[in-house]
Amino acid sequence: MNFRDQLLAAERKHDSLLCVGLDPDPEKFPAPWTGDASRIFDFCARIVDATKDLVLAFKPQIAYFAAHRAEDQLEQLMAYLRRTAPEVPVILDAKRGDIGATAEQYAREAFERYQADAVTLSPFMGLDSIEPYLRWPGKGAILLCRTSNAGGSDLQARTLADVEGQPKLFEHLARLAQGEWNRNGQLGLVVGATYPEELARVRALAPTLPLLIPGIGAQGGDAAATVRAAWRADAPIIVSSSRAVLYASNGADWQAAARSAAIAAREQLNAARRG
C-alpha cells in the first residue's frame, strides 16, 4: 500500500485520527530515567506499547534524537515499530528543505536508513526540493503549508500579487500539492489546528490529500473544530499530539497515563467525526 492507503487502513482498524508524536526530552522522563539520554529508545518504546492500538500514525521528531547523539536509538525505535505495530505508518518529522544531491541523501536517510513511510518537508525551494523524495514509490512527502506557530503568518499568509486570483502563499502551496506537484499521489500537507478557518480552506483546495495537523493538546488547538474543518471519509487527517500524551504523568503511572491521554484524545476526535 502507498502512504495514503496505509493511513486509511489504520484509521479503520484502530478507529482513530490520532497520531502520537515521539519527541523524547530526557529532562521530562519519569524517575529513574530523568535526564538519561541513553533511555530515549526505552521511553519511546514504552509509549508505543501503551498507544499502538489507539493511533493511525506515529511521528518521531528527528531533532530530539540527533540533539542527544541518539540516531542509533531512532533506528532501533523504527525497527521496533516495524515489528510491534506494522500496520501503523510512521512519519519522520524532519522538515528537510534542500535540493539536488543533498535532497537525495536526505530522502535516502528517511526511507532507507530509518524506513519511514513518510517525511515532512519544507517546500520553499520549490519542486526541486521535493522531487527526490517522489522517486521512492509509495512513500509520502508532507509539505509545510499553514503551520501552527504564530510566526508562520510572516510568510504563509502573504498575498501573491503575481499569481492568478492573488492567493495567499499557503493557498498557492495547497493548489500545487493537490495538482501539478503531486505526480504520483504521494503528497500531503502540514496545517495547524490553531487556524481552523485556514485549515478548512486548505481542505477545500486539496480535497484528497492527507493533512498532518499539529497543534491540539499543549498548543491549544480545538479538536472538534479541526475535525469539522478537515476530515473527509476518503481524505485522511493525521491529528498529532505529543507532549500531552508523552508527559501525561512523570510518576510510576506514566505509561497508564499516556494511554489514558491517548484514549481521551482519540475519543474527542471521534466524537467530532461522528457529529
Query: Rounded distance, CA 259 to CA 130, Å?
Result: 35
Question: Which residue is associated with the grid cell 485522511?
Answer: 236
Please give the C-alpha separations between residue 180 and each of 47, 100, 185, 186, in angstroms, as whole numbers. 39, 20, 10, 12
pLDDT computed for residue 220 by the predictor: 67
As for how many domains the chain has, the answer is: 1
pLDDT computed for residue 218 by the predictor: 58
Query: Has residue 219 got a pLDDT over 80?
Result: no
Enclosing domain of residue 204: 3-273
Rounded mean pLDDT, 42-48? 98
Query: Has residue 75 got a pLDDT over 70?
Result: yes
Beta strands 187-191 and 140-146: pairing type? parallel
Rounded mean pLDDT, 161-184? 92
Buried b (16+ CB within 10 A) or exposed e, 42-78: bbbbbbbebbbebbbbbbbbbebbeebebeebbebbb
Query: Has residue 66 got a pLDDT over 90?
Result: yes
With 0.75 as the threshold, say if the pTM is over it.
Answer: yes
Q: What is the CATH number of the domain that holds 155?
A: 3.20.20.70
pLDDT computed for residue 3 by the predictor: 96
Which one is catalytic: 13, 95, 139, 168? Answer: 95
pLDDT computed for residue 161 by the predictor: 86
Query: Rounded distance, CA 131 to CA 181, Å?
Result: 8
Query: Has residue 90 got a pLDDT over 80?
Result: yes
Rounded mean pLDDT, 29-42? 97
13 is known as an active-site residue: no
Distance of CA 82 to the CA centre of its chain: 17
Query: Rounded distance, CA 24 to CA 93, Å?
Result: 13
Rounded mean pLDDT, 199-225? 87
Query: Has residue 212 got a pLDDT over 90?
Result: yes
Long-range contacts of 230-235 (CB under 8 A, 24+ apart): 230/191, 230/199, 230/200, 230/202, 230/203, 231/17, 231/272, 231/273, 232/203, 232/207, 234/8, 234/208, 235/203, 235/207, 235/208, 235/209, 235/210, 235/211
Query: pLDDT grade, residue 154 (50/70/90)?
Result: confident
The Cα diameter of the chain in Å comes to 59
Cell numbers standing for residue 40: 530515549
Rounded mean pLDDT, 105-132? 97
Instruction: Determine if residue 40 is left, alpha or beta; phi over 0 gives left, psi from -120 to 50 gives alpha, anything else beta.
Output: alpha
